[in-house]
A and B are shown apart, each in its own frame.
Chain A
């Protein structure tokens, strides 16, 4: 493999990492509170605003049911508005983030809903405000599940990021398609796949380890 190719692969790897990190970071910042709100704003719940809960739930479902490649194209005007352009690695972060937010929100919602209702009742019985219940009970108790969910989100985003070549985004997926497939360079394709596998393995291992450290439900010596 020529030094030129190695440089390309290195660059694409960094592009992928940057896109996934930015989308996961922003997606987490928005998705986490959104997920908490989705889990606590239904009828009779802590922050009951049923109409908003339904509206946000619908929006999340629409985004999640749109195939990512179509989402990328469909929101080009929005991407241009945010990033100033609809082409390139930077611009690709926008659709990735838009896909990440509802994904993370649903995962956080699920994790929060898994928290034993008895704990919420106990906190209420001790005079906790709804905000205190969310911050001191729901989030800490759901944290291991949230970490696992975020890990899953990052892995999925890594997969999604391979599609942004369609709008001129860079990254490993784009490299694999252009060199490995269109220029018949199987060694580039192989390198791309190996690097993606390594990234996913690393993320999953780190996420599992962190979740295990945080999970106090397991008895350990």
Chain B
């Protein structure tokens, strides 16, 4: 069993989870030694939420998402989707269940032999829906993703972003309750990624669609997810609302993922000179996280005025995460008494501050 946060974080919620992993373990026995891809994972996905699972390659993310629609079966534990235990279903029941679980893919997986419209129609054909009804639905879906004018184009004639829009339209064809996103933006440039994430957020908002996504990019989590789970070696090492995880990351891996985010990264010249112990007449580097209302307060000006401490700004950003203002500043102040004084000042202003290191 894993750390308690996934279930604990939702304790206040009344809705039963739409997706629930209970003590899920998956071992692959192919090859000389069995490989444990997932090791006792507990995770809840509430209806209407966007939950992101982040992990490095090999962490077990792909296995995790494939358990939801039964492309993989757990070695132990239960996967419950919309009240149905997926691991117990036979092939026919599984096919039926899959029609209420849409999926999009890193490499889009569109049929090259079909036009955009015919690709979107595929799940409808598979479900035995008549041509006329399917055509109307396809037009509606292409309109939703903004590709009505590309209906008769083949995938080879579309850009990456357009292909993923077709993928999204296809995934939504059978009106699923859940959308699984398997690294859906990993093959796209940042700008296109942004537009696809915006589309996912809009679908979540307008259709109330629950989204479970896996990614290796913190930017994707920041851009679209409400809740995040950090997966390492098949275990969830940290989970919670995205805002909380960004503002108070606990696990080293979470910090490592955040290190690439704007405001978290130190300028290389500083990072290279950091030492763990204070240096006489040196400076102490402190990372201050501004949350919510504090993000807009002139805290450093007050630090100078009230405490007579001059902070040198090394890096920083102000952004919005999950709709709430969020800022990170990395500052250097003189080591010694001032450090404790400044940390006390930040604490009084309800700001999270931590000493990153010291420089001479």
Contacts and interface: CB of A to CB of B under 8 A. Distances in A.
Interface of A: 116, 118-119, 121-129, 132, 136-137, 140-141, 143, 214, 216-220
Contact of A127 (B96, B111, B114, B157): B96
Interface string B63-99: 0000001010000000000000000000000011011
B293 interface: no
Given A123-B126, A126-B123, 6 more contacts: A119-B109, A126-B99, A136-B125, A137-B111, A143-B113, A214-B113
Contacts of A128: 95, 126
A112 to B, nearest CB: 13
B126 A119 contact: no
B50 interface: no
A218 B123 CA distance: 25
Interface string B111-132: 1111000000011011100000
Nearest to B158: A219
B275 interface: no
B7 interface: no
A136 B121 CA distance: 12
B112 A217 contact: yes
3 smallest CB-CB distances across A and B, nearest first, come from A122-B109, A127-B98, A127-B95
A218 B109 contact: no
B103 A216 contact: no
A90 to B, nearest CB: 38
B126 A132 contact: yes
Nearest to B95: A127
Nearest to A125: B103
B127 A127 contact: yes
Contacts of A116: 107, 109
A216 B98 contact: no
B5 interface: no
A118 B105 contact: yes
Contact of B112 (A122, A129, A141): A141
B55 to A, nearest CB: 20
Contact of B111 (A124, A129, A141, A218): A141
A43 to B, nearest CB: 11
Contact of A140 (B103, B111, B126): B111
A61 to B, nearest CB: 26
Given A140-B114, A218-B156, A126 B109 contact: no
Interface of B: 69, 71, 95-96, 98-99, 101, 103, 105, 107, 109, 111-114, 122-123, 125-127, 154-157, 170, 174, 180
Given A141-B111, A216-B154, A219-B156, A136 B126 contact: yes
A118 to B, nearest CB: 4
Contacts of A141: 111-113
A39 B113 CA distance: 20
B122 A129 contact: no
B101 to A, nearest CB: 8
Contact of B122 (A123, A143, A214): A123
A132 to B, nearest CB: 6
A119 B123 contact: no
Contacts of A119: 109, 111
Contacts of A125: 69, 71, 98, 101, 103, 180
Contact of A126 (B113, B126, B154, B155): B126
A214 B96 CA distance: 32
B167 to A, nearest CB: 8
Contacts of A217: 112, 156
A217 B114 CA distance: 10
7 contacts: A119-B111, A121-B105, A121-B109, A123-B126, A126-B170, A128-B126, A141-B113
Contacts of B126: 123, 126-129, 132, 136
Contacts of A140: 111, 113-114
User: Which of B96, B107, B126, B157 has the most chain A CB atoms inside 10 A of its CB?
Assistant: B126
A26 B107 CA distance: 38
A123 B111 CA distance: 10
Contacts of B109: 116, 118-119, 121-122
B157 A219 contact: yes
B134 to A, nearest CB: 13
B213 to A, nearest CB: 15
A185 B103 CA distance: 69
A220 B112 CA distance: 13
A221 B125 CA distance: 29
Nearest to B167: A122
Contacts of A122: 103, 105, 109
Contacts of A143: 113
A122 B112 CA distance: 13
A41 to B, nearest CB: 17
Nearest to A126: B123
